[in-house]
Amino acid sequence: MRKILLLLAVVFITKLAFAQVSGNSNYQSQTHFPDNNISINPPLSKDILVSAKALANVKADSYVAIFSVSQNGKTADEVNTLMDKRISQAIADIKLKSKDVEIYIDMISFVPVYEYEVEKKIFSKKNYNELPAGFELKKNIHIKYTNPNLLNDIISILSANEVYDLVRVDYFSSTLEAVKKELMNRAKGILQDKIKNYEQILGASLAAVDKGLSDGYKVVLPVEMYQSYQAYNSSSLNLGKSMSVNNASKSTTLYYQPVVDKEFDFVINPAVLEPVIQVMYEINLVINRENRPGAKSPEYLLITPSGEVKNLNLKQ
C-alpha cells in the first residue's frame, strides 16, 4: 500500500451532525431528550468498532425533599420567633408520622426590608425616601425519608404551618456501586461475543491486532428528566384589520421522561413505573485491521515542491 504526502495546502473537512427527535409532547413545540450516548468517537474506515451499551433502572431507597420558608416581621426578634414556631411545630408533627426521618435546617438569608416614604414639599417635586420597614428571614428545610408515600403527609403538615414551596426532591440509592459492577461484567461478555461473531464473518482471528479500549458510566437523576408541554388545540381564524383575538391562558404541565432503552444491548429492570435513577455503561473496542498480522506495511512517498519523489521508509 502506498501513501503519498504532498507539500501543498491541507484542507480539513468537518462533518456536521444534526439530530432530530419527536414525540407526543411536542404538539406545540419540539422537545430534545437527553442523549443516551456516553462518548463515542467514530472509527476510521480501516477500523472496526465493537461496542456494548447497558442501562439499569435503579429504584431509590432514600429521598431528600427541600422546602423553602420565609418570614417577615418588624423586628429581628419577631422574625426569629415566628419562624422558629412554624418550623418547630412542623418538625414535631412530621416525626409523629414517622420516626425514620432526618431533618436539617439550612440558613439562607436574613436581611432588612425597606419601603418608600413620600416627602411632600411646596412648590417642588415629591421626594421618595427609603426607610427600614422590618426584616426578612429565609431558611430551607431538608427532610430525608425512605418511604416515598410519606411525602404527601410531609407536604400536608408543612402546608398547615404556611410552608408551601417544595424546591426539589433528590433520589439516592445505596446499590449504585453494585449495579455499576453488574453492568460492566455483563457488557464485557456481550463485547466478547460480538468479537467472536466478527471473527467468524471475517474468517480471521483478531486476537493479535492493534486495539484501543474506552469505557465510561453516566448517571441520570429523576430531577434532570422532567419535560414541560402544553396540550391544547387552538382554532384558526381569518382576522380582518379591525379584529383582535384574546387567547385563553393555557396550562403548562410536567411529565417524567426517562432515557429510552431501545439503543442498549441489555437493560436491568426495563419496566419504569416511577421515577428512577438511571445508570448507563458503554464499552468501546476499536480494532485496527490494517495492522493485523501478515498485512503489508504501507509505503510512504514524499513529493517535494520541485517534483522529486522520495521514499520515506517510515517504520510502523
Render pLDDT for 199-208 as a digit per residue (tens, 0 to 9).
888 888 888 8
Question: In this predicted structure, which of 126-140, 257-271, 289-303 has the lowest mean pLDDT?
Answer: 289-303
Measure the CA–CA gap between 21 and 262, rounded to whole angstroms.
Answer: 14
Name the pLDDT band for 216 (thresholds 50, 70, 90).
Answer: very high
Nearest CA to 274 among 59, 80, 118? 59
Averaged pLDDT for residues 58-65: 95
Q: Is the pLDDT of residue 15 over 80?
A: no
What per-residue confidence (pLDDT) applies to 157?
93
What per-residue confidence (pLDDT) applies to 261?
87
Name the pLDDT band for 196 (thresholds 50, 70, 90).
Answer: very high
Averaged pLDDT for residues 218-235: 84
Averaged pLDDT for residues 157-182: 93
Give the residue range(s) of CATH 3.30.70.2970 domains in the chain.
62-172
What per-residue confidence (pLDDT) applies to 110?
86
**CATH top-level class for 62-172?**
alpha beta
pTM for this prediction: 0.68
- The average confidence (pLDDT) of the chain is 79
